[in-house]
Amino acid sequence: MAETFADLIAAEDVLLFVNAAVTATGQREFRSEASAQRLSLDFLHEYVCVNYRPLYAATLALDINDHNAARIIETLLRGAGGAGAEEKRVEGRLIARRLAVLPPQRVYRLFRALRAARVNNRRTRAIMRDWLAARPDLGHDAVKYRRGLKTAARHAHLPLGAGTGSKEGAPGEVGDFLFAPGRRTKYRHPLLDAHRRAHYEQGALYELPFTVAEGFAVRHGVGREALVERIAPRMTRLERLRTQGSTGARTERTDGTERTDLTVMPLTRLALYVLSLPVDERVRRRAELTKALRAAARRTAGPYRGTWGRVAAVLDDSYSSTGSGEKRRRPLGTALACHFLLESLAAAGAYTAWWTSGAADPLLVRPWGPTPLGTRILDALEQAPERLVIVSDGWDNAPPGLAGEVLRVWRTRLDREGRTSVVHLNPVYDTDGFDVRRLAPSVPTAGIRDAEDLPALVEIAQFAEGRTGMAELREYLDRRVELFVEDDPFCYFPGEPVGVPDGPAREGRR
């Protein structure tokens, strides 16, 4: 019995950390400051790494956010002495695979943190070397992420000045660009040469990435609207969306085609973009925005579309869903994205949504009012759904505690057979509890940041009911690790020769 109890405690510890790694980003929330979040995360990372290192590394295969993924990698590399040879091998594969899917700016930031912490063991240098070798164009990175690439090259002792170029450039150009910019009067790589010319030639700045061109535009006195208009073909979709709002640029070109195809945007990002628009613009573009949100939801649902039967959702649009200055409307954006995804997952015509404010039009929701979760849960349960999904920060306050009592009575008195599956998804990290806030002990709760992770989080939420031990959790994590690592045939232990082709083959895969 003591061993079983210990297993349950260990499983709860790991699940608590997973919830934190999904939701917490070390930034200010509606009810907590950034310093409190960072302190809470520091403790969790240290505690779980020391006590459950293999499981700590395995969370890299789960749908955790980029902030905590980078933090896990840094912690594993800083404490390499606490792992055996086989553990290091598994960790190396997980780290290599996770770095491959992280945004490059996040990876370069991680490399700078490793240098600041004086982490420079053989495994760290191998990880840096192999990740940089897999980059499709180091010339592009040298222009857009100059400081990060320069730091990584110095820290890992990479010979960029001898034989390292790019697809379009000559060997050694990247090294000269970073460490001896005055050595060459011209570069064969177009971006490197455009950066050189942009110091004195205004036209060259339109050949650069947008974030780099912004700095040169100020030097040449080019207005932001003029810059955006001319450099639009080189901008990413997200850059176009941001600049449309900040510069007042029109949504459509003169030939009537859209600047940005919203239907290919990620679901949660698209929901946040919709919420950033004024209400009158949302009304005017209702057909376009609704079509884009539903297309993104169908793409996210994939093979699970229409397979969840009758689904009811209770969605929190109370004032606390405002988020913070660093995470503006993030909780509400997650709820809106979940609304359209659940609509797609449910059987045709078998989905109902209940917003805490009583709103009937999801496109016009805004954060306001109290959080009457208990009342809305009663409304949803009256429909006798097969699944009830609650997306809320868990602060039930109208009246306080009603939601937990409703769920307790429903599970213990009215639905003992479990005909309705209930899960609570919380987009906000609670620093005081080192977890996301829960509504009732009988209802599984999981943290959520992006609606795209909803199906996987509903699956892992079953482990949070307190009836599953470490054996089941280990089996689940092992399965996720296997799928995560095998998804990329070029994922291997950094520094280990396994006969994987270098150069163009790996670059094509990346």
- DSSP letter string over 190-240? HHHHHHHHTTT-GGGGGGS-HHHHHHHHHHHT--HHHHHHHHGGGS-HHHH
Q: 464 and 320: one domain?
A: yes
Is residue 99 a part of any domain in this protein? no
Tokens at 61, concatenated? 């295969």
- Its domain, for residue 216, covers 198-260
Q: 241 and 304: one domain?
A: no
Q: 294 and 244: one domain?
A: no
Strands 387-391 and 311-315: parallel
The pair phi, psi for residue 328, each rounded to 5°, is -65, 125
Q: 240 and 319: one domain?
A: no
pLDDT at 510: 30
Q: 303 and 371: one domain?
A: yes
Look at residues 231, 260, 289 and tell me which one is the last residue of a structural domain: 260
pLDDT at 39: 93
Cα separations (Å) of 448 from 58, 427, 455?
Answer: 18, 5, 11
CA distance 126 to 132: 10
Rg (the chain; Cα; Å): 25
Is residue 480 a part of any domain in this protein? no
Q: 351 and 391: one domain?
A: yes
Strand partners, 391: 315, 425
Burial (CB count within 10 angstroms: exposed 0-12, middle 13-18, buried 19+), residue 425: buried
What residue type is 430 in one-letter code?
D
Q: Give yes or no for a contact between 41 and 24, defined as CB atoms under 8 angstroms apart.
A: yes
CA distance 19 to 15: 6
Which of helix, strand or coil describes residue 391?
Answer: strand
CB atoms within 10 A of CB 497: 7
Which of helix, strand or coil describes residue 423?
Answer: strand
pLDDT at 465: 61
Q: 313 and 433: one domain?
A: yes
CB atoms within 10 A of CB 343: 21
Q: 363 and 328: one domain?
A: yes
pLDDT at 495: 40
pLDDT at 169: 59
Q: 226 and 303: one domain?
A: no
Burial (CB count within 10 angstroms: exposed 0-12, middle 13-18, buried 19+), residue 280: exposed
Is residue 435 a part of any domain in this protein? yes
Q: Give yes or no for a contact between 225 and 210, defined as CB atoms under 8 angstroms apart.
A: no
Is residue 106 a part of any domain in this protein? no
Is residue 276 a part of any domain in this protein? yes
Q: 449 and 365: one domain?
A: yes
CA distance 458 to 389: 9
pLDDT at 472: 77
pLDDT at 502: 36
Is residue 437 a part of any domain in this protein? yes
Cα separations (Å) of 343 from 86, 312, 313?
Answer: 44, 9, 9
Task: Kindly give, in sequence order, each residue whose CB lies less than 8 Å from that of residue 287, ignoring residues fewer than 6 positions away.
Answer: none
Is residue 97 a part of any domain in this protein? no
CA distance 159 to 153: 8
* Domains held by the chain: number: 2
Q: Tell me the pLDDT of the chain averaged across its residues.
A: 85
Which of helix, strand or coil describes residue 368?
Answer: coil
CA distance 381 to 422: 10
Per-residue pLDDT of the chain (510 residues; tens, 9 = 90+): 344 567 777 878 888 899 999 999 989 998 889 999 999 999 999 999 999 999 999 999 998 999 999 999 999 999 877 778 888 899 999 999 999 999 999 999 999 999 999 999 889 999 999 999 999 899 999 999 999 999 999 998 887 754 444 555 566 889 889 998 888 889 999 999 999 999 999 999 999 999 999 999 999 999 988 898 899 888 888 888 777 755 444 444 434 434 577 888 899 999 999 999 999 999 999 999 999 999 999 999 999 999 999 999 999 999 999 998 888 999 999 999 999 999 999 999 899 999 999 999 999 999 999 999 999 999 999 988 999 999 999 998 889 989 999 999 998 888 888 889 899 999 999 988 888 999 988 888 999 999 999 988 887 777 766 555 677 788 888 888 988 888 654 444 344 433 333 333 333 333
Is residue 293 a part of any domain in this protein? yes
Look at residues 207, 229, 260 and tell me which one is the last residue of a structural domain: 260
Q: 350 and 409: one domain?
A: yes
Q: 243 and 331: one domain?
A: no
Q: What is the CATH number of the domain that holds 379?
A: 3.40.50
